[in-house]
Structure 1
């Protein structure tokens, strides 16, 4: 089985970036991969027009089918009240003068707003969620969930954007948090037995110090997954075979825990091709 992994498209950031993304998604029509995974931040600002444009491009790619495409939200897809005025090409003062209003919205942001943001994202890509297994066991879209890929592989999708009820500490709407109890329950699902287990989430699993060495301490602190260490321990215990993520804008491979391979496709200038065979997964970066 061959899987294409992309992330952090940020459609709507600039005309130049949109042209690159259009080219990337156009390449999917000529790709022989069995499945495509986009691990969040499809949009720059979570606007309906951005989602509509991406849906149209994905429909044209030939991969818009639940058996061939999995998309998950990133923080830019959900917290529109914060990101909507941070598009490229806008006057710097016009962007930053809205920060007091964004801060007030952040203070008021709660479960109702979070669920509404998720529902809006799902409404544009609802077909891609068909056939998933959830802990609730009903057709409603909820996280975490499982999507079976063929006879041998499975995606286990975790939602890392909801730093609730601690959202007020998440001043840039970029930190992440995982519901570990729910993650443990889905990873123990009997349907995963004898399958190659691929965990998909938006936020990176690199240690904060590693990110800080490249990007600075402020960036690392503002983009980290809060309970990263506990999640890695859970993935180790659960026999996870591979992790896919984005958020941190680099194209790279690394390992966590007891050598779990991790693929970051957070740089939209490239992507990864993952070839799953009897001996494991071969991972090839593409630019």
Structure 2
């Protein structure tokens, strides 16, 4: 199985009218190169613009890949809160957008995001809660399981003032740790997805520390514990715009970076029939 992983597309037709044509071309080339499945780990749009999300939906439909078997999409903080800036009017606008996406508004935006790409998540028209969700696809020895989490944390003046910190709720972690789920996953090649980076970089000064605090995945050790429990071999993410991979406690984390900033480079994972795999950052 050949899995393509892109992230942080930051579609913004108001300021970059060519962005839809660019992502259309990339998606077409990915599938023309023989990839079986495409994963997008959030920040699909730059400013929480549902019109641009619908434009991406149209691109997927035009390329005949708007389906559960071909595409997996999860949200990032930009898809719910928009962009964040920390100076002048940008800071004020960041706070206004974040406050407007609190409580029920946050849940509505999250649900609306998933509704736009419903065909890639579920065939259940009555579903009320999307996350976590699991797909089991053909591949490896007994199948490839894609386990998707939502890491976009609700806005909070104290815990998440810019809307850019992440957290995977305990209810999501516990859901995939249930005995019947673990039994279904035990012989699968498990790929976990969330938007936020498990690791960014080591801070060297107070400014770095403040930046990392605003971007971090909270309670990440609890997430790691869940990954190990479900037998995840790789964990894909985005958020921090640097293509890199790193291993922690036997889990291989891969950040695809941003296709907007990396010259159309993305993470390519090949999962072999014997359960082994390899990955590389490639261009098509």
TM-score range, shorter chain: 0.7 to 0.9
Structure 2: where are the runs of 5+ without partners? none
1:204 maps to: 197
Out of 51, 75, 91, the residue aligned to residue 77 of structure 2 is 75
- 1:147 and 2:147 aligned: no
1:179 maps to: 169
2:160 maps to: 170
Q: CA deviation at 1:35?
A: 0.9
Whole-angstrom distance in 2 between the partners of 1:62 and 1:44: 25
Deviations 1:182-205 (A, max 9, x none): 313314413213111111000001
Deviations 1:123-173 (A, max 9, x none): 3211111258xxxxx744421111111251111111100246x46531221
- 1:159 and 2:150 aligned: yes
Q: Do the aligned partners of 2:165 and 2:218 also contact (CA within 8 Å) in 1?
A: yes
Q: Do the aligned partners of 1:204 and 1:264 also contact (CA within 8 Å) in 2?
A: yes
- The alignment partner of 2:223 has SS state of helix
CA gap of 1:147–1:131, structure 2 versus 1, over 3 A, is farther
CA gap of 1:184–1:112, structure 2 versus 1, over 3 A, is same
2:47 maps to: 45
The structure with the largest helix share of the pair is 1
Structure 1: where are the runs of 5+ without partners? 87-91, 133-137
Q: Do the aligned partners of 1:109 and 1:167 also contact (CA within 8 Å) in 2?
A: no
1:89 maps to: none
1:33 maps to: 35
- 1:281 and 2:242 aligned: no
- 1:5 and 2:5 aligned: yes
2:218 maps to: 226
Q: TM-score, normalised by structure 2?
A: 0.83
Whole-angstrom distance in 2 between the partners of 1:249 and 1:105: 22
Q: Do the aligned partners of 1:5 and 1:272 also contact (CA within 8 Å) in 2?
A: yes
